[in-house]
Amino acid sequence: DTEVTQTPKHLVMGMTNKKSLKCEQHMGHRAMYWYKQKAKKPPELMFVYSYEKLSINESVPSRFSPECPNSSLLNLHLHALQPEDSALYLCASSRETSDYTDTQYFGPGTRLTVL
Amino acid sequence: AQKITQTQPGMFVQEKEAVTLDCTYDTSDQSYGLFWYKQPSSGEMIFLIYQGSYDEQNATEGRYSLNFQKARKSANLVISASQLGDSAMYFCAMREGQDDKIIFGKGTRLHILP
């Protein structure tokens, strides 16, 4: 089973709203990732969690706040977003970080629209 | 310099024909992995195939094979007997050594024509 689930599938929010994206995997993976993808572009890495600890923050604005409550769950809390933050947000997981043989498996994504 | 180069922004192929999607990479690491992902319009990134830098045989997964030419630093994806459902964006990606990050190319949009 290589399933990563993400909820919600679609999200529309105003610039003053607070919302959260959720990602879950039950593959026993210890690395989890958040990516942002704009239309017709490759995914851009935002955050990496390794063994439930934040290991990489790619200089993401503080209006995006990641959280890893346990090894299966990854959240992305959103607050005071801008219209340019509208994008597809992809979650991924892999067995480990720091292993070039390790495949990242992606969830179906959340399409976010900020009005 | 780009680490992953996909030179074909878009391709149109007749159904049932074989397709080759080009990918070249640039790394000074001896240890690296190469990945291909498919992204349909629904958005999900689907892992297709992996090739390690030390693998001597070309990887194959069903209708997908990876034509790995290490000296030329190329890792082309070959799809045999294309189907309408193969229409999607395809990304070549690389992971180097102990790096946490995966580097994506810009992608190739493949259109399969009936």
pLDDT computed for residue A97 by the predictor: 77
Residue pair A94/B50 in contact (Cβ under 8 Å)? The answer is: no
Given a cut of 90, is residue A96 above it in pLDDT? no
User: pLDDT value at position A4?
Assistant: 96
What are the percentages of helix, strand and coil residues in chain A, rounded to 5? 5, 55, 40
- Rg (Cα) of chain A, in Å, rounded? 13
What count of residues does chain B have? 114
Alpha-carbon distance of B66 to B54, in angstroms, equals 14
Decide if B44 and A108 are in contact by the 8 Å CB cutoff: yes
Q: For B56-65, which contacts have Cβ atoms below 8 Å and span 24 or more sequence positions? A: B64/B36
Q: How far is A79 from chain B, CA to nearest CA, in Å?
A: 24
HEC-encoded secondary structure of B39-101:
ECCCCCCEEEEEEECCCCCCCEECCEEEEEECCCCEEEEEECCCCHHHCEEEEEEEEECCCCC
Strand, coil or helix: what is A49?
A: strand
CA of B105: which chain A residue's CA is closest?
A: A42
Instruction: Provide the token pair at B14.
Output: 């007749």
Backbone phi, then psi, for B55, in 5-degree steps?
A: -75, 125
Please give, rounded to a whole number of angstroms, the shortest distance from the CA of A101 to a CA of chain B. 6
Q: What are phi and psi of B84, to 5 degrees?
A: -60, -35
Strand A4-7 relative to strand A73-79, pairing: unpaired
Calpha distance A107→A6 (Å, rounded): 6
Q: Is the pLDDT of residue A2 over 80?
A: no
pLDDT in tens, chain B (114 residues): 679 999 999 999 999 999 999 999 999 999 999 999 999 999 999 999 999 999 999 999 999 999 999 999 999 999 999 999 999 999 999 999 888 889 999 999 999 999
Q: Are B92 and B106 in contact (CB under 8 A)?
A: no
Which of B43, B95, B105 has its CB closest to that of A109? Answer: B43
Of A42, A104, A109, the CB nearest to B44: A109
